[in-house]
Amino acid sequence: MATDTLPDRSALPTALTEREQWVCWRTQERGGKQTKIPVTPATGQFASATDPSTWTSFENARDAALDGELAGIGFVFTDDDPLVGVDLDDCRDPDTDALDAWAETVVEILESYTEVSPSGTGLHVLIEGTLPGDRNRRGDLEVYETARFFTVTGDRVASTPPDVHPRSHGLDVVYREHLSSDTTAEPGDNSAIEDDSSVRDGDATSESDTGPQSESIPSTTDDSAATPTGGSSPLSDAELLEKARAAANGEKFDRLFRGETSGYESHSEADFALCSMLAFWSGGDQAQVDRLVRRSGLIRTKWDEVHFRDGATYGEKTVERAIAGTTEYYTPRGTEHSTDTTTPLDDADNQIVLTDERLQRIEARERVRLRTIERLETEVTELTAQTERLEAQIAEEQAQRRRLERQRDDESTGQHSLWRRFKRYFS
């Protein structure tokens, strides 16, 4: 295998390269599908994801892949390491590097080392954590922590960290959204929920590379949990602020309300985070959210600036998106779908644990939208510049053609004049 197609140690997280859990791999057809088979670097025979004697160090695996007829190298997950691998299939356009929205959200939530799979159409995210349940796969997403191997390319997604990070909370969110038993499958998702097939008789556990297939994404909406209130706030401004500040994430809310943006990549992300919290407590009351943002330290002149072709201001769209992304609202005790069943402080604590999880997902989705908007705006700018260049080129060519036509007419007129003088001379 060519040297430039294999990652070196510097391109990979130390959490991987320091462990002697490496194998090589090659493809083999099984059941009409190209399947990645782990191979023992020392012998070229099948490796087992449960037999450490078939694994080796990163350097040995890399050398074997360079010297032999092997496709690449891979890493084996075991019970003895804290690592978890998240496999996102058929979610990336290899020509443009664009990710499907669901995959980009998962990558944002986990925020750890992420690389492109050998096919170029998938991703592998590596984190530290523990799988919160016994489900491993649904649709195009798989999660494994033991007795499996992942191919390793070193082709890191530029927007992700170069190291593996602890992400237990993020893994819990992804698991509930995509793998938990109460997740509703999308129509046409025939995979339903599958348990990881165990390794039998020492056979190697393999990765399948099925290539492009129809997108099958688990639903992330729990209709039974949503308690929309019709946009009418159950709290006064003072009551809302009191409850929000007394909640489990009250310190975070208070920092945002005071205008602190630390921990956010931009002021806009901080705006969206505050609006999402206010959307929950206000029951989706757009006027109250807007009113309280104007009282906060985050308010700035940009809030009232028109940023959209439909005439909407930045503030209006930010509030609208925050409310659209909120699927559950605070409702006081005694009302229909009431979530106020304990003491006010306990109620706030219990709800905000959920709200923080939703907020993390909402913020990730908003970042996806913002990047998509920025990418489209860049494309529009480039196309506009290209159009202007073409128009200028066409104008220049038209001007050149007119000059040539005038020149031709002048030459024709001169020739006629010379002919008339010639005829008069000999007449």
The pair of structure tokens assigned to 93 is 């356009």
Name the pLDDT band for 240 (thresholds 50, 70, 90): very high
Q: Determine the Cα–Cα distance for residues 223 and 302; give it in Å rounded to an integer.
A: 35
* pLDDT category of residue 164 using cuts at 50, 70 and 90: very high
Residue 255: C-alpha distances to residues 264, 265, 349 (Å): 12, 15, 18
Q: What is the pLDDT of residues 93-107, one digit of tens each?
A: 999 999 998 898 899
Residue 408 lies in a domain: no
Helix axes 237-246, 267-282, angle to 10 degrees: 110
Structural domain contains residue 406: no
Under a CB-based contact definition with an 8 Å cutoff, are residues 319 and 277 in contact?
Answer: no
Percent of the chain with pLDDT over 90: 44
Question: Quick one: 134 and 243 in the same domain?
Answer: no
Same domain, 55 and 169: yes
Contact in structure between 92 and 120 (CB atoms under 8 Å): yes
Residue 411 lies in a domain: no
**400 SS3 class:** helix
Residue 369 pLDDT grade (very low, low, confident, very high; cuts 50, 70, 90) = low
pLDDT digits (tens, 9 = 90+) for 110-148: 999 999 999 999 999 999 999 988 889 998 999 999 999
**Is residue 176 situated within a structural domain?**
yes
Task: Assess contact for 27 and 34: CB atoms under 8 A.
Answer: yes
What is the band of 187 on the pLDDT scale with cuts at 50, 70, 90? very low
Contact, 206 vs 35, CB < 8 A?
A: yes
Please determine, for residue 185, whether its predicted confidence score (pLDDT) is greater than 60. no
369/259 same-domain check: yes
In this prediction, residues 215-229 reach a mean pLDDT of 33
Give the C-alpha separation, 254 to 246, whole Å. Answer: 10
Contact 128, 167 (CB under 8 A): yes
What pLDDT score was predicted for residue 405? 87
31-84 pLDDT, tens digit per residue, is 778 889 999 999 999 999 999 999 999 999 999 999 878 999 999 999 999 999
Q: What is the pLDDT of residue 264?
A: 79
Range with the poorest average pLDDT among 18-22, 25-29, 148-152, 338-342? 338-342
CA distances from 393 to 361, 375, 383, 386 (A): 48, 27, 15, 10
User: What whole-number distance in Å separates Cα of residue 204 and Cα of residue 52?
Assistant: 12
Kindly state whether residue 137 falls inside one of the protein's structural domains: yes
Residues 163 and 257 in one domain: no
Per-residue pLDDT, 262: 86
pTM of the model: 0.52
Residue 243 in contact with residue 281, Cβ under 8 Å? Answer: yes
**269-291 tens-digit pLDDT:** 889 889 989 998 998 899 999 99
Same domain, 245 and 191: no
Q: What is the pLDDT of residue 228?
A: 36
Distance CA 68, CA 406 (A): 71
Indicate the number of domains in the chain: 2
Q: Which helix (H) or strand (E) holds 351?
A: helix 344-426
**What is the band of 301 on the pLDDT scale with cuts at 50, 70, 90?**
very high
Read off the pLDDT band of 378 (50, 70, 90): confident
- Please name the residue that has the structure tokens 């649904």: 138
Top pLDDT among 2 and 387 is at: 387
Residue 172 and residue 92 share a domain: yes
The C-alpha angle with vertex 398 and arms to 395 and 404, in degrees rounded to 5, equals 145
pLDDT at 308 over 90: no
Higher-pLDDT residue of 102, 227: 102
Q: State the Cα–Cα distance between residues 40 and 46, nearest whole angstrom.
A: 6
% of the chain at pLDDT higher than 70: 75
What is the average pLDDT value for the chain, to the nearest integer?
79
Residue 192 scores a pLDDT above 50: no
Same domain for 190 and 270: no
Q: In this structure, are 166 and 18 located in the same domain?
A: yes
**Residue partners of 35: CB distance under 8 A and separation at least 6:** 27, 28, 29, 206, 207, 208, 209
Asked if 105 and 23 sit in the same domain, the reply is: yes
Place of tokens 């991703």: 123
Domain of 36, in residue numbers: 3-197+204-208
Q: Which helix (H) or strand (E) holds 288?
A: helix 286-295
Residues 67, 189: one domain?
yes
Return the minimum-mean-pLDDT range out of 71-80, 149-158, 383-392: 383-392
Please check whether residues 190 and 246 belong to one and the same domain.
no
User: Residue 394 falls within a domain, yes or no?
Assistant: no
368 has pLDDT over 70: no
Please tell me whether residues 291 and 189 are part of one structural domain: no
